Amino acid sequence: MEYSNSKPGSLLILFATVFLIISSCRADPDPLQDFCVANLQATDITVDGFPCKPTSSVVSDDFFFSGLSAPGNTNNMFGSNITQANVANFPGLNTLGLSMNRVDLVPGGINPLHSHPRATELGFILQGEVLVGFVSTANAFYSKTVKAGESFVIPRGLVHFQFNVGTGNAVVITAFDSQLPGVVLAPFTLFGSTPAIPNDVLTKTFQVDQSVINLFKSKFGN
């Protein structure tokens, strides 16, 4: 078998094309530096994360965070508190693609229906008994009561909740594959946006009277 008619230049182009396609399919590029501690005072707008602090300004505290060690204030309408450890208050996370939350729930407390548009969520029940559920794009509802020592996962972008069904306080630790996963909190998004979603849109969507919409807006509006 002979390859006298093959063209090395064409093979090289084919190889380069395949390599570029494979590289473009990677979720995250390999880092080009050890770290990029966020400069939270910078006003520059960047595509992916905050600008880096000069290495000479980086200190040990940039890589440590104690905010998840203490329970948050659950004295609110939901009986819950979310303590976030993301790039906005933990600058060492910048460009690393991960973050964490602590969820505190009193008995009957709920982390209400919400979604994270930029991240999948992995949860660990540190204390208590929590009903966790989410709804898929096929409108299927998946849920289970999870106890201390057990875990759950919420696929990226899907609406979900955590509800304390136990008799004592519950604590959930959640991790995300984003330094800033974002949150769309259903009641405040729908009834407390600025400017407000027109009442006609909401009454038609939920098939209720305007008085019901006004009630929800008075509760969840700014």
- Any known ligand binding at 89? no
Q: Model's pTM, two decimal places?
A: 0.83
- Any known ligand binding at 116? yes
Full pLDDT tens readout for the chain, 222 residues = 444 455 666 666 666 665 555 555 544 556 678 999 999 888 765 667 788 999 999 999 999 999 999 999 999 999 999 999 999 999 999 989 999 999 999 999 999 999 999 999 999 999 999 999 999 999 999 999 999 999 999 999 999 999 999 999 999 999 999 999 999 999 999 999 999 999 999 999 999 999 999 999 999 986
- Any known ligand binding at 121? yes
State the CATH class of domain 55-182. Answer: mainly beta
Could you state, in order of their start, the residue ranges of all structural domains in the chain? Answer: 55-182, 189-219
- Any known ligand binding at 169? no
Strands 110-115 and 184-185: antiparallel
- Any known ligand binding at 114? yes
d(CA 85, CA 172): 13
- Any known ligand binding at 2? no
